[in-house]
Amino acid sequence: MLMMGFTGLLGILKILLMGLAAFGLFDAAFRREDAFRAADKQNKVFWLIILALALLVSYLFSIFSFLPIIGVIASIVYIVDVRPALKQVGGGSGWGRRGSSSDGPYGPYNGGR
């Protein structure tokens, strides 16, 4: 009975780690490519590959092997370091961000001032 509880706990932990990698992957997918260059944080394709591998490895392997641990570290680095830098450069979440109602195709319209 104790082993069933431990197995359930490991299952929940595996789901949480997969969720962490999935969140990072979807967040990186919706960021702009130029924000990665402006923040000097590798590039978008690099982070998409790393986070997709982290998600795949956390799904395929046991929690006690070293590959999911590397994937978790990569996901945490993205969420703690890269994501805030992208937010600072990009100015906001990047998820369906809309401009002001006075924004034109080349920037804000200030009424000819």
pLDDT band at 12 (very low <50, low <70, confident <90, very high): confident
Most confident listed range (23-32, 92-101, 103-112):
23-32
pLDDT band at 108 (very low <50, low <70, confident <90, very high): low
pLDDT band at 61 (very low <50, low <70, confident <90, very high): confident
* HSE toward the beta carbon, residue 112, CA cutoff 13 A: 0
DSSP, residue by residue, 12-58 = HHHHHHHHHHHHHHHHHHTS-HHHHHHTTS--HHHHHHHHHHHHHHH
| Helix-strand-coil split of the chain, %, nearest 5 | 65, 5, 30
